[in-house]
Chain A
Amino acid sequence: MHNQTFRQRVFLYLLVAPAFIVLFGVVIYPFFYNIVLSLSNMNLRHIRDWRIVGFDQYIKVFTEPSQPDFYVVFLKTVIWTAVNLFFHVLLGVFLALVLNQKEIRGKAIFRAILVLPWAVPQLIVALTWRGMFNYEYGSINLMLTQWLGLPGVQWLRQPITAFIAVIITNVWLGFPFMMVIALGALQSIPHDLYEAADIDGASWYHKLRHITIPLIQPVMVPAITLGTIWTFNNLNIVWLVSNAGEPSDQTHLMVSFVYKAAFNFYRYGYGAALSMVIFFILLAFSLTFMKKSHATQNVYS
């Protein structure tokens, strides 16, 4: 009997082993290797003879004068993430609520159209939006000048407008994900709760506040957490729309900062330290957000 339990256990380990080996190879080992690199002096000059130098690279991250300034980049990344997430959730949930109405006809078509931004490859989206923001030939300025009689905006030439341009692009790209998640959550809410609320004479607002929002929360909180991590670490959109930080390296986020350090300047130790800083920021955010929003709490309790 004991022998059989042991054999069963070995068999279970064997079944799990391939997944664990893959996970070890692509997540666990690189993560710990990155920690080691962040404590090393590995760069172009010390690519083969690198050594552990303690927390030097972390100190450099926070104290070394950089172009653009690390703290400015950090602040921009926070603004970028917050603004994007706000609009992703607002638009996503709003559209999901609209699509969840019984009266809407052709829901499938609307759903397909609204998911389109998510379905198009990011590279195409980014380059198309970049073209649309062109001062003379872009469709945004053509609409502003010809339809609304407003002056054209030099979107990509000034730091603030360039930053707004990349945010607009990413809002357009990101809301379908939240919409799909919210729609799934809405469809799982038992309809009799709304019927009971109707009998009690609850208004639309009260049903939203006391039924809809609490019941979609367990689904939306992990989606927002994921969305935050993805947006915070989004390299493609900023890099492509702003053409690698234009104008004058003013549209960088922390992740493009890491990319430049590691792959343009071959500062692997510094880049690894910077990526660990990003990891801890996101870890702290995720834990705090999950705790504050009671994401793991049973909604029906």
Chain B
Amino acid sequence: MKLQTSLRALYALAVAGCIVAASVSMDGCVFKRDPRIRLTIWHQDRIDVRIVLQRQLDRFMQLHPEVRVEQLFKETEELRSGFIIAALAGQGPEIVYGPSDQVGPFEMMHIILPLEDIFSKEWLALIDPRGLTWYKGHLYQVADKLGNHLTLVYNKKLVPVPPTTEEELVRIGKSLTADLNGDGKIDRYGLTWNYTEPFFFIPFMTGFGGWIMDDAGRPTLNSRGTVDGLKFIKRLRDVERIIPNEADYNVADILFKDGNAGMIINGDWSWAGYQNAGLDIGVAPLPKITTTGLWCAPMVSPKGFSLNSNISGEKKTWALELVRFLMSPENQMESARELFTMPTNLQVQQSDFVQQNDIMRNSRLQIDRGRPLPVVPELRAIWDAMRPSYQAVLAGTMTPEQAAEEMQALALRRIKEMNE
């Protein structure tokens, strides 16, 4: 009987505890009331970006003590699937931050808000139009960063002057590739990059005149550009032997950081890391293909803020205020200086730093030569269709011509499956 009474008391205590825990939060063992408004941003940015973002959020919270903002990092895929699940259930973060290609699926599921009537025309006019992601006639994302683009990064110690054409790239690459200790193995490569991933193949595809889809969103993978781009990468690896036999992102990154590769094709997200690793790097636009006269054009994407369609009232007001704050010229300038990200604010784009800094100047040149990342959901199908055949070419089990044909056929099938 005594035991039963004790259990009853314990049960009542547990229930009471749950109620208390639901209404207040513990902070340093002191019960403390929450700030009136809580906002959350989900993003997929790396650690150095998170540090800058946190500093900016702290400043915002100092200005507005009634608001608490939390940033939450999630891997790209986890962010997308997590946001879809949460938002469809009427939950999720107030703000979701990322590259523009997430707009397509989010719009189709009606889980982000159109923004064209929320932000004033005057305010939107301050932003580079490439930083505003419109889809099906509505604005769904406002970006504070432009780029997410690949460039040629070179170690100035090894490459005093970067190549401007593909033939120069081969020539410099060959002069750098060497067996330094005479053991019969190559110790230093001229060039490296994550060449098993189709995203990194795009500049070669475009350089040879190809592109992934037409204006109607239909895949255009079975093209001369795809075939010649594939042949060129095979040539770099198997004939000129200026790139490693096998390289994923990590291998390529380490080779370059250790000085075992003179050049790397990598995105704007990597530059600060290379500088922090003590490398004297230069950033150059990807070379021109002499046979076509076209520049290798990477995909260019804005990275920006979208608002969860479930928010309203005061939360919405504060979320907008926060986006305006994070998009301010001061904050964009801070990010540009520390992370070498290209600001979208037109005034900041004209600043001395952006105009005169060598990395920023070349980054901008590459952005201007790049091609916008399509925001349609079918892009998923395109990537997935490219990967197997592209890798089969690299493995020597398929010709580039067969691969281009297979990619196209698979992309069409995938799109059909997605849209059934």
Contacts and interface: CB of A to CB of B under 8 A. Distances in A.
Interface of A: 8, 11, 14-15, 18, 41, 43-45, 47-48, 64-65, 67-68, 127, 130-131, 134-137, 154, 156-158, 243, 245-250, 260, 262-267, 270
B118 to A, nearest CB: 22
Given A11-B8, A44-B109, A47-B88, A136 B418 contact: no
Given A248-B389, A265-B417, A157 B244 contact: no
Q: Please list the 5 inter-chain residue pairs (A to B) with the smallest Cβ-Cβ separation, ordered nearest first.
A: A248-B388, A135-B246, A247-B391, A248-B391, A263-B81
A134 B391 contact: no
A136 B244 contact: yes
B419 A44 contact: yes
A157 B246 contact: yes
A137 B11 CA distance: 59
B30 to A, nearest CB: 28
Interface stretch (B126-134, B327-335, B376-384): B376-384
Interface of A is mostly: loop
Interface of B is mostly: helix
Interface string B348-389: 000000000000000000000000000001001100100111
A11 B6 CA distance: 12
Contacts of B397: 248
A265 B414 contact: yes
A243 B105 CA distance: 24
B395 A44 contact: no
A44 B80 CA distance: 13
B4 interface: yes
B394 A44 contact: no
Contact of B246 (A44, A127, A136): A136
Given A44-B109, A136-B185, A264-B384, A67 B377 contact: no
B246 A265 contact: no
Q: Identify the interface centre among A64, A131, A262, A263: most chain B CB within 10 Å of its CB.
A: A263
Contact of B410 (A8, A64, A67): A67
A154 B392 contact: no
Interface of B: 4, 7-8, 11, 14, 77, 80-81, 84, 88, 105, 108-110, 185-186, 196, 244-246, 248, 250-251, 377, 380-381, 384, 387-389, 391-392, 394-395, 397, 410, 413-414, 417-420
B418 A248 contact: no
A44 B387 contact: no
B418 A267 contact: yes
Contacts of B84: 266
Contact of A127 (B245, B250, B414): B250
B418 A134 contact: no
Nearest to B4: A11
A158 B398 CA distance: 12
A262 B77 CA distance: 11
Contacts of B388: 67-68, 248-250
A29 to B, nearest CB: 13
Contact of A43 (B185, B245, B392, B418): B418
Nearest to B185: A136
Contacts of B389: 248
Given A14-B11, A158-B395, A248-B389, A266 B245 contact: no
A245 B413 CA distance: 19
Contact of B251 (A131, A246, A267): A131
Given A135-B245, A136-B244, A246-B391, A44 B414 contact: no
Given A44-B377, A243-B248, A266-B105, 6 more contacts: A43-B420, A48-B109, A127-B250, A131-B250, A136-B245, A157-B246
